Structure 1
Amino acid sequence: MSNDNPYSQPQQPQPPFHQPPAKSGGMSTAAIVGIVLAVAFVVMLFCGGILVALLLPAVQSAREAARRMSCSNNMKQIGLALHNYHAAYNTLPPAYTVDANGRRLHSWRALILPFMEHQALYEQIDFSKPWDAPENLAVSQTVVYSYSCPSTTFDPTMTNYLAVVHPQGIMSGSTPTTFRQVTDGLANTVLVFEADSGNAVNWMSPDDSDLQAFLAAGSARDQGGHLGGSNVLMADGAVKFVSDSADQTVRTALVTKDGNEQVSSGL
């Protein structure tokens, strides 16, 4: 029987029911990849830090070994210059030059400049006036790199390559010495050594070292230097690395040129 009720509403067709897709309980692939990359980055940073910490001492040691070798080469060049000076004048240079009143004027380092390939610099020096006179100021402020140990950190116009000025040493003062006077043997006698930084002087200065400073070498390394010892230039031109703990008697024997001491061991 038909529904003739005029008040009834026609039924609207219902849209089909769609259930929303179920949410995944895990993370997306992109999120997982991002986390993996972040973890890998952190691990790389951590491992890199460990690697740097392990390699740093080795790198520093290698750099110091290179500086020590460069220093040794500087001293060998100085030794060659001193030998060439002796060949030219039949004597080594004095530790310093003096004027008529005995006042110190210039260092042996200034005298050997022509043999260090610094003839032009040598010709600029007024040897009749002190090293620190106004006429010599420009030269004294010139850096001679062969007089500067690369392990030191002070002004490069300073040097700690010093002679041991001693009455029985090769460098005894204003009087020059010949190799024939070195009866202890050139290989057993010091020409130049690396002093502690506190004893450094301007390379033109006529001041050097004494026996006491040589005996105390290595006691202060506040401005650099070589770990455990220092380079020493022997009269035969060889460079030896002398330990800071070397016997004091041996050190004294190295300074004297005619003391007949035995210095074959104890360095």
Structure 2
Amino acid sequence: MSAHFKNDPEFNDAVPMPISGRGFTLAEILVLVGIIALLIALLLPLNRGGARHAARRAQCVNNLKGIALALHNYEQEHKALPPAYTVDAQGNPLHSWRTLILPYLEQKSLYQTIDLTKPWNDPANAKALATSLPIFRCPVVGPGNTTTYLANTAPNGCLIPGQPRNLAEITDGTTSTLMVIEAGEEHAVPWMAPVDADESLVLSLGSDAKLPHTGGVNACFVDGHVQFLKASTPAKLLRGLISIAGGEEIPGDW
């Protein structure tokens, strides 16, 4: 029955009336169903796409948590964080910190195939270089043997080229000192490459940049926690997060 009749206090005494000529025709009903179907078809991909992106962002966070844990396990064994990259006798770059933490990422067998006495891009290391490691790759960016996870290697940053970093040197606090940040695909490098993020790169990850996630990037800090850095984060605050011992005041609600 019509909802109008059910709400009418005189419904029981009313005489049902025939449907008027203003009712929907079959053609109109088919058009209406077609419009609804079209709307559903348009909306569902958007919902699926949003869900996919949320899942990829969550996987990106997990990647960075795994990298942070590996860095801490390296520190536990070696009593210091790894260098940004190792160097030869002449000071030339050899291997990235990403290579050095492979045994702590359940990649010991891959690590053992790498000749650490020769540069990362030497033919002797070509097979390892071609290996794709999902933990070093944000799922939003896609597959490949490159990485968008770059360490904070600013002059006053976390990892130092050619030498380890003692945690005691990080006097600004481990919860507010940036260790690894993700960059956009335009900054992707081969995962074995001794290339990371300097201050200018970190400061460039603003609202005008091509970011891997809507509104910002993921980053992990020295204490191991992962946080979303908004594209609107002020440059002054970013400089404070980069520094390990600058004494900058970091607000608690940033």
- Structure-1-length-normalised TM-score: 0.81
CA distance in 2, matches of 1:95, 1:52: 49
From 247, 255, 261, the equivalent of 2:234 is 247
How far the C-alpha of 1:164 sits from its partner, in A, is 2.0
1:109-258 residue pairs with structure 2 within 5 A? 109-153=98-142, 156-218=144-206, 219-221=208-210, 225-258=212-245
Gaps of 5+ in 2: 1-24
Deviations 1:177-230 (A, max 9, x none): 111111000001011001122111000001112100000114432xx6100000
Aligned to 1:51: 40
1:189 maps to amino acid: T
How far the C-alpha of 1:158 sits from its partner, in A, is 0.6
How far the C-alpha of 1:119 sits from its partner, in A, is 0.4
Moved more, 70-79 or 155-164: 155-164
Aligned to 1:19: none
SS in 2 for 1:77: helix
Aligned to 1:80: 69
Aligned to 1:66: 55
Deviations 1:34-69 (A, max 9, x none): x95x77655433211112223333332222111111
How far the C-alpha of 1:156 sits from its partner, in A, is 1.6
Larger Rg: 1
1:148 maps to amino acid: R
2:116 maps to amino acid: F
The two structures, once aligned, show a CA RMSD in angstroms of 1.7
CA distance in 1, matches of 2:188, 2:197: 9
For the 8 Å contact 1:247–1:266, the answer to whether it is kept is no
1:165 maps to amino acid: T
CA distance in 1, matches of 2:78, 2:160: 18
Gaps of 5+ in 1: 1-34
SS in 2 for 1:242: strand
SS in 2 for 1:206: coil
For the 8 Å contact 2:140–2:212, the answer to whether it is kept is yes
Give the count of matched residue pairs: 229
Moved more, 224-233 or 235-244: 224-233
CA distance in 1, matches of 2:191, 2:30: 53
For the 8 Å contact 1:229–1:241, the answer to whether it is kept is yes
- Structure-2-length-normalised TM-score: 0.85
Deviations 1:4-26 (A, max 9, x none): xxxxxxxxxxxxxxxxxxxxxxx
